[in-house]
Structure 1
Amino acid sequence: MARPALPRVGPRRGVPILMRVSRVLLIEDDPAVRRAVEWALRHRGHVVAAASTGEEGLPLLRSHRPDVVVLDLMLPGMSGLDVCRRIRERDQVPVIIVTARGDDVDVVVGLEAGADDYVVKPVRASVLEARMRAVLRRTDPDATGLTRPRPRTFGDLVVDRSALVVTYRGEPVPLAPSELRLLLALSASPGQVLSRQQLLELVWEHSYHGDVRLVDACVKRLRGKLGGSPGCIETVRGFGYRFRAA
């Protein structure tokens, strides 16, 4: 069966992020899956570095300097979860985890380890590229879909929507792309309650209701980076979340 064709991607500079060539780090131990995904992404114009283990893949973060990491959870030696944690210790590059099952435990643990999104095997190239494009839009200042006025202060938290910089108690807060976009979405309208489905569509650009676990896991990570308590992000039980201005 012929592989589905997608629009050709354009050059890296001077082109909207949706069309640019992306540098991808693929860490996948299954040779057949690795070859298929690598071929599909290269066929679509992306630059791919592939590794079969976490130990082999981590050094490529510096040498390949990827825009996005596609990471299998079930790896020999260092697990995918440990690889994701190691990446987050040194880098905020977007991470998409690949899981053999849509198992809630696997997915939630991976998201809480710092992943931005996930796909379920067998991996469809069109789905993976769509998720890649969505997660890359979260790193593009001109594609947030949100206005960016002067910095705003909420107690110990300062959100600079123009520079996309967040500080807490005077210290910069390193946020993964999904965490940053989630905070921008919530803080844009303090006091307004946003449902999980609204946040899912605004931040992750997904419409499948089952993926609301992405929202909960990201809120948990974000709270941890902002002091470890619910703080300025309040849970509205049975509905969603609200940003508290003071």
Structure 2
Amino acid sequence: MPAQKVLIVEDDAHIRRLLRVALERAGYGVSEAGTAREGLSLVDIAKPDAVLLDLGLPDRDGLELIQLIKTRSQATVIVVSARDDTSEKVAALDLGADDYVSKPFDTEELLARLRTAFRHRLSTQAERVLVRAGNVEIDLDHRRVRRGDDTVHLTPKEYDVLAELAKRPDRVIGHTQLLRTVWGPAHQMHVDYLRIVIRGLRQKLEEDAAAPRLLINEPGVGYRLATGER
């Protein structure tokens, strides 16, 4: 099986070298670009399976590249940026980024996130309909949720929110995206609706709702369903 290909789009040569060494050691094929223009060209030429994208590029804002990459490629996009402002993370995720890693970063954690992204993409392509997180099992085909041996009865909105998180496990799904998908575009600013539903889900699914380990909050950004897979 050919090695999966990763494109690094980063203007800092030192960081590019650091990422290249770590990725090649992990068995990935690597290409790299120092500008947005080079990056978009390599998306077409190298056809990467994943793009590690810096936002602070010299010729174009990286946020603009997310949608451009997504329109011409099926590549997983992981933003790797020094911008740690919540609004930047929200914008990147809403534009289609699959994950967001803040600089400075740990290379082992970044590799783990990349492995997780690839694994879940394969699962999605295989139309996985059974998702497990801890002792919770979510059957997306039959709209059924179990905790241990017991069936969990959810409200329609609770199930719909959980299903959206389960379709992309271990990825942060933004507040706006969840509200738009579950409640509709007219309610995408009503974050309180989402908080109420998440509170109900935690009461029903978590061992300790006050210290959640499955339904994780990314403050100001969104929520993710933690499966524990790395």
Give the TM-score taking structure 1 as reference length.
0.60
Question: Given residue 76 of structure 2, which amino acid in structure 1 is its aligned partner?
Answer: P
Q: Could you tell me how far apart the structure 2 residues matched to 1:65 and 1:120 are? A: 25
Richer in helix (by share): 2
For the residue of structure 2 that corresponds to 1:109, the secondary structure is helix
1:238 counterpart residue number: 196
Q: Could you tell me how far apart the structure 2 residues matched to 1:205 and 1:138 are? A: 9
2:129 counterpart residue number: 146
Whether 1:72 aligns to 2:54 is yes
- Among the aligned pairs, what percent are the same residue? 32
For the residue of structure 2 that corresponds to 1:138, the secondary structure is helix
Equivalent positions of 1:180-199 (< 5 A) are 188-189=143-144, 191=156, 193-194=158-159
Q: From 165, 178, 188, give the equivalent of 1:219.
A: 178
Q: Could you tell me how far apart the structure 1 residues matched to 2:161 and 2:177 are? A: 11
Whether 1:132 aligns to 2:84 is no
Whether 1:31 aligns to 2:13 is yes
Deviation of the 1:27 alpha carbon: 0.2
- Counterparts in 2 of 1:81 and 1:187: CA distance versus 1, 3 Å: farther
Q: From 67, 76, 80, give the equivalent of 1:98.
A: 80
Deviation of the 1:185 alpha carbon: 5.3
Q: Could you tell me how far apart the structure 1 residues matched to 2:170 and 2:7 are? A: 22
Q: Could you tell me how far apart the structure 1 residues matched to 2:185 and 2:176 are? A: 14
Q: From 42, 51, 59, give the equivalent of 1:60.
A: 42
Gaps of 5+ in 1: 1-10, 13-20, 149-183, 207-211, 242-246
Deviation of the 1:203 alpha carbon: 2.7
- Counterparts in 2 of 1:197 and 1:46: CA distance versus 1, 3 Å: same
Give the TM-score taking structure 2 as reference length.
0.63
Counting matched residue pairs gives 179
Gaps of 5+ in 2: 132-138, 145-154, 200-230
- Counterparts in 2 of 1:36 and 1:186: CA distance versus 1, 3 Å: farther
Q: Could you tell me how far apart the structure 2 residues matched to 1:50 and 1:104 are? A: 27
